[in-house]
Structure 1
């Protein structure tokens, strides 16, 4: 099923939606919702889709009313990976087009991962190969109980090239990552929750309600504070303990001069809800 539309129906842009060809973008309250919209191809990734995803993230960041981004899929899949049929259609050697595609896809995925906005992957079906790599770039992962995850590259003699071979072991550990990458097996959401990739599992018909509740919760927090938390989380994967602790203190010290931290402390002392400004 889709995140909130019948599985058999393509996503249709609604009023105030930003027009794109391969995705649909809507602003819903404090969140920017992005649907991967190639349901007949299981939302497989193309360069056009990657560029549109980047444009959607950029537009969301430029809107001060947007406090988070939700990414989900139209139809019965979240994303089944790269559009291999389109790549194969080039004919001759696939090395050059594949290399160019993966380099650009990896750049866009890193751009999404580095966004100061909290990103939520709302996984409504299959998340395979490049689709799994997209999930790995999101901060929070809410999955339907029927969702399945897999690296799948080995099934066609391919290698993960959108960052999966680096991010997956860091997220779920090297042993589980090796299993997924080498076997090509699709695992249920419950297994991926236990592995540490999925944040929460809900019934399929509760995906939208859960996501809407989550974005409303995030909107009550300091946007600057959440952005700094993302910086802290990113540090943990790429440095020694000593370096990480040093960088943590630097970021906390910088944030200590912000309005939002002072407002939070004042609100606590006055026993009221804080009114954050993101500054």
Structure 2
């Protein structure tokens, strides 16, 4: 697929996907969503990609939905094609079910749907120039990608309600203090830091990363006793894998393990 609104780059064992509508603050148009879906599905299925990074070009990571296109889309006559909200639903479903580690590198403004995309990531790193907020209330719009659901779980109910109700933007450093952002870097260092982080993660067993991600996600939705039993069962099953034996053999032989992902 030829991409016009995103850029897909492979860097070592990671794939970087940049939202690339800088003049529109990387807002989510139908074409961008379709291309982003295609790229995510491509790298998810590519065994040479072990870590996925999402970032943006220009001054924004993503400012949310393209509201002009959304309004036009809502007014169009039914034609059997998916509308922007349906496509956005597909996008968030895909993001929520990625099996590979996902890092969001917030290069700039991260608002509304952009924040919702960022919150699907396993790790968020932000430039010191990034401003982050929900912003839906500023336009009389409700969240639809997890803003009212994930944000309270990430930063606490009271802080989330403040951001949801006021539509205010806050600094990346504040979001780090709230626990949403893992690290804040100088703007010029963002990609270098994230690439080093992606490289570090990519050296781990792809099978372990996949299972760890699943266990964390599932465990949050289960009673503690059940989650602990599932974790132990996963470990027992994992002992039959190549990567389990390779990791222990490499430790014993004092060498770097060669993980295969099975």
The answer to whether the superposition gives a TM-score over 0.5 is: yes
2:92 aligns with: 109
What CA distance in whole angstroms lies between the structure 1 residues aligned with 2:93 and 2:257? 32
What CA distance in whole angstroms lies between the structure 1 residues aligned with 2:205 and 2:75? 52
1:248 maps onto 2:231 in alignment: yes
1:54 maps onto 2:49 in alignment: no
1:204 maps onto 2:184 in alignment: no
Shift, 1:100, TM fit:
4.8
1:265 aligns with: 248
What CA distance in whole angstroms lies between the structure 2 residues aligned with 1:29 and 1:179? 41
1:213 maps onto 2:196 in alignment: yes
| CA distance 1:278–1:155, shift in 2 (3 Å) | same
Query: Stretches of 4+ moved more than 4 A in 1?
Result: 90-94
What CA distance in whole angstroms lies between the structure 1 residues aligned with 2:223 and 2:106? 33
Preserved CA contact (<8 Å) 1:102 1:162 = no
| CA distance 1:120–1:111, shift in 2 (3 Å) | same
Preserved CA contact (<8 Å) 2:73 2:84 = no
Preserved CA contact (<8 Å) 1:170 1:237 = no
The farther-off stretch of 145-154 and 263-272 is 263-272
- Residues 37-56 of structure 1 show CA distances to partners (whole Å, capped at 9, x for unaligned) of 11111000022222211211
Structure 1: give runs of 5+ residues left out of the alignment. Answer: 1-17
What CA distance in whole angstroms lies between the structure 2 residues aligned with 1:239 and 1:74? 38
1:122 maps onto 2:118 in alignment: no
TM-score, normalised relative to structure 1: 0.87
TM-score, normalised relative to structure 2: 0.92
Structure 2: give runs of 5+ residues left out of the alignment. Answer: none
The alignment of Structure 1 onto Structure 2 pairs a total of residues equal to: 258
2:219 aligns with: 236
- Residues 164-213 of structure 1 show CA distances to partners (whole Å, capped at 9, x for unaligned) of 22121222222221111111110100111111111111100001111221
